Amino acid sequence: MRGLLVIFSGPSGVGKDTLLEAWTARNPLVQRVVAYTTRAPRPGEQDGVDYHFVSRERFEELVAAGAFLEHKEVHGNGYATPLADLEAMLAEGLITVLKIDVQGALDAMKLRPEAISIFIAPPSFEELERRIRGRGTEDEATLLRRLENARLELSHQSAYAHVVVNDAIERAVDELEAIPATMSR
């Protein structure tokens, strides 16, 4: 049986990676499409696991070859969703998750209207700021830019079929797990 495509987004620092890891641990059919990026890996990030890290030149070659469902620039770096990987995962019957920024998600919804769109929201803006600070991966200027961007992203949540508040991880995963279960295939 063909899998389901899930568009999964929300502001940086809201807990998307944390929730996806917990969701996959509970349901192994849930798998993330590994995106391509031109940005440098952060400490601890692995090539082919967190992203496919590629040079700007290679990225542009892949764009020209039509290898991506969508691609865009975020904070000066290229990000893209590989089409062949996505199709292979759907053919395997997986719940195929695109972890994608809000602008990319809006594009992906238009290109794939059958996809299930899920927005992960923070319990409050203050809590979002605490999580980004707690993660400790950004300098102050980047953090302020992310928070500014987050306000804009939060204003788009009504475009999504589902909004899940990441208050407590296991509770949020209960809600995520119930979404594809209710979809007819």
Burial of 63 (0-12, 13-18, 19+ CB in 10 A): middle
Residues whose CB falls within 8 Å of the CB of residue 5, separated by 6 or more in sequence, listed in order: 86, 90, 96, 98, 112, 114, 115, 116
Q: Which is nearer to ligand ADP, 96 or 166 (CB)?
A: 166
Min. distance of Cβ 175 from ligand ADP in angstroms? 12
Min. distance of Cβ 1 from ligand ADP in angstroms? 29
Any contact of residue 163 with ligand ADP (CB under 6 A)?
A: no
Any contact of residue 12 with ligand ADP (CB under 6 A)?
A: yes
DSSP 155: T
Any contact of residue 25 with ligand ADP (CB under 6 A)?
A: no
- Binding test (CB under 6 A) with ligand ADP, winner from 17, 47, 92, 148: 17
Pairwise CA distance, residues 71 & 59, whole Å: 10
Residue 129 parent element (H or E): helix 125-135
Min. distance of Cβ 93 from ligand ADP in angstroms? 25
* Chain contacts with ligand ADP (rule: CB under 6 A): 12-18, 131, 134-135, 166, 168-169
